[in-house]
Structure 1
């Protein structure tokens, strides 16, 4: 059996297209998307972020997620070793017509944000009876 050492995945820093009003680094959160017959589930890792510091909004058929770190938690810390940089998270998704924009819900637990995007009735698979 080959040695399978764990690989450290580097955090991807977001390269902004425009100017940001907050002088801090933004990172792309690691995200998984699952699809069921009636919804899409988006699971996003935002470690170190409190529920009150997460903003999810829809604008021009885009789903925007922004999660801000409270930097005061890290003041005075001098890490001996670190594998990721501390910074805010941001991600944007284009929404298709299959997503019911009025039926999007969000939950947060242990640094993981879970978004449930319900599909419109017409986009849900259905069985056609043969007569």
Structure 2
């Protein structure tokens, strides 16, 4: 990294709510990277503090939704001295096309990172065309 490049802390963004919520706590957009290979799209979402049992991933009406809930009981009685990290729930949705094989979507969580694999449908994969 050159001397002119400086690392910047990305600020957490709150989810823009279209409806009113009944659960307490703020909901944030997880930092996300999307990678494409000839076989699939891979979505990596950072959800620090979310337990695997508090994670929900679903696909409905061509929309993949990932929600992670924080257990605020872990933070009870703590008085922060200094914070750069705001504790809250996470939510993110992605509209997917018919080029994704919805029946083969998979998800895993490791070390606070949720990885969603969106396999491409056979007709969307690159293929070689024989020329006669």
TM interval, shorter chain, is: over 0.9
Q: What residue in structure 1 maps to residue 42 of structure 2? A: 41
- Aligned pair in 2 of structure 1 residues 2, 38: CA closer, same or farther (>3 Å)? closer
For residues 9-48 of structure 1, the C-alpha deviation after alignment (integer angstroms, 9 at most, x for no partner) is: 1111112111112121000000000010010000000000
8 Å Cα contact 1:67-1:90 kept in structure 2: yes
Q: After the TM superposition, which of the residue ranges 113-122 and 18-27 deviates more from structure 2?
A: 18-27
Which whole-Å deviations, capped at 9, do the CAs of 1:26-71 have from their partners, x for residues lacking one?
0000000001001000000000001010000111111111000010
- For residue 25 of structure 2, what is the aligned residue in structure 1? 24
For the residues of structure 2 that align with 1:14 and 1:77, how far apart are their CA atoms?
25
Measured on the aligned residues, the alpha-carbon RMSD in Å equals 1.2
Single out whichever of 76-85 and 32-41 deviates more from structure 2: 76-85
CA contact (8 A) 1:69 1:88 kept: yes
Aligned pair count reads 131
Q: Which residue of 2 aligns with 1:101?
A: 102
TM-score (norm 2): 0.94
Could you tell me which residue of structure 2 aligns to residue 110 of structure 1?
A: 111
Equivalent residue for 1:76?
77
How far is 1:126 from its partner? 0.4
1:63 matched residue in structure 2: 64
Unaligned runs of at least 5 residues, structure 1: none
Alignment of 1:115-126 (within 5 A): 115-126=116-127
- Which aligned runs of 4 or more in structure 1 are off by greater than 6 angstroms? none
TM-score by length of 1: 0.95
Which runs of no fewer than 5 residues in structure 2 stay unpaired? Answer: none
